[in-house]
């Protein structure tokens, strides 16, 4: 007797849809310290140059030092659902999926895009998959609007950062 297959466990096709449950938490800390120094000096004398006896005429010193320190700590959490579309079915049955969502709240636009490779056996009976089960997963969360604009460095600040060498 053949086993019964539900709609969601049967073979998938291009343009089928499934829900991606995103529950992503990341945390990273980095620290760097750099300290370098270099000193050079040169001294010399020129005697009897064109009949002139000036003594020591070349005396130069070069000192260079750099001391840099940096620390960064970052924590992110993202929780959402996105309906994704099967864009490609690979010969082994795995699926390349892609989905996006745009939400507008108080003139702020939030964009969420997800892509990745799904194994059909990882798809839950409710036709959903957790984002941590996507291979080659790419989650992009961005926004546009007054708040997002205020988070960016202004034009003058960017120009100064570009041309200021120190």
From first to last of its 166 residues, the chain has per-residue pLDDT tens of 334 444 445 689 999 999 999 988 777 777 777 777 666 666 555 555 555 555 555 556 667 666 777 777 878 788 899 999 999 999 999 999 999 999 888 888 889 999 999 999 999 999 999 999 999 999 998 887 665 555 556 666 666 666 765 5
The residue length of the chain stands at 166
How far from 49 is each of 46, 55, 64, CA to CA, in Å?
A: 7, 10, 33
pTM: 0.59
**Closest by Cα among 125, 79, 74, 134 to 101:** 79
Q: Give strand ranges (E) for the chain.
A: 17-46, 55-89, 95-105, 108-118, 128-130, 135-144
Per-residue tokens: 60? 């130069």
Q: Do the beta carbons of residue 13 and residue 89 sit within 8 Å?
A: yes
The two structure tokens encoding residue 86: 């099967």
What is the C-alpha to C-alpha distance for residues 121 and 144, in angstroms, rounded to an integer? 37
Give the pairing type, strands 55-89 and 17-46.
Answer: antiparallel
Contacts 24+ apart (CB under 8 A), 37-42: 37/63, 37/64, 37/65, 37/66, 38/62, 38/63, 38/64, 38/65, 39/63, 39/64
User: So what's the pLDDT on residue 26?
Assistant: 76
Q: What is the CA radius of gyration of the chain?
A: 31
């Amino acid at each position: 007797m053949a086993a019964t297959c539900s709609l969601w466990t049967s073979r998938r096709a291009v343009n089928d849809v499934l829900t991606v449950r995103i529950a992503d938490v990341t945390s990273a800390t980095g620290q760097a310290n750099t300290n370098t120094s270099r000193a050079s000096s040169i001294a010399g004398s020129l005697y009897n140059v064109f009949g002139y006896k000036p003594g020591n005429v070349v005396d130069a010193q070069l000192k260079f030092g750099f001391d840099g320190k940096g620390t960064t700590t970052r924590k992110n959490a993202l929780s959402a659902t996105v309906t994704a579309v099967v864009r490609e079915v690979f010969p082994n049955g795995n699926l390349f999926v892609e989905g996006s969502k745009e939400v507008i709240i108080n003139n702020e636009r939030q964009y969420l895009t997800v892509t990745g490779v799904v194994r059909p056996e990882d798809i839950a009976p409710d036709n959903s998959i957790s984002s941590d089960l996507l291979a080659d997963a790419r989650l992009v969360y961005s926004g546009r609007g007054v708040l997002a604009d205020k988070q960016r460095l202004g034009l003058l600040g960017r120009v100064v950062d570009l041309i200021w060498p120190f």
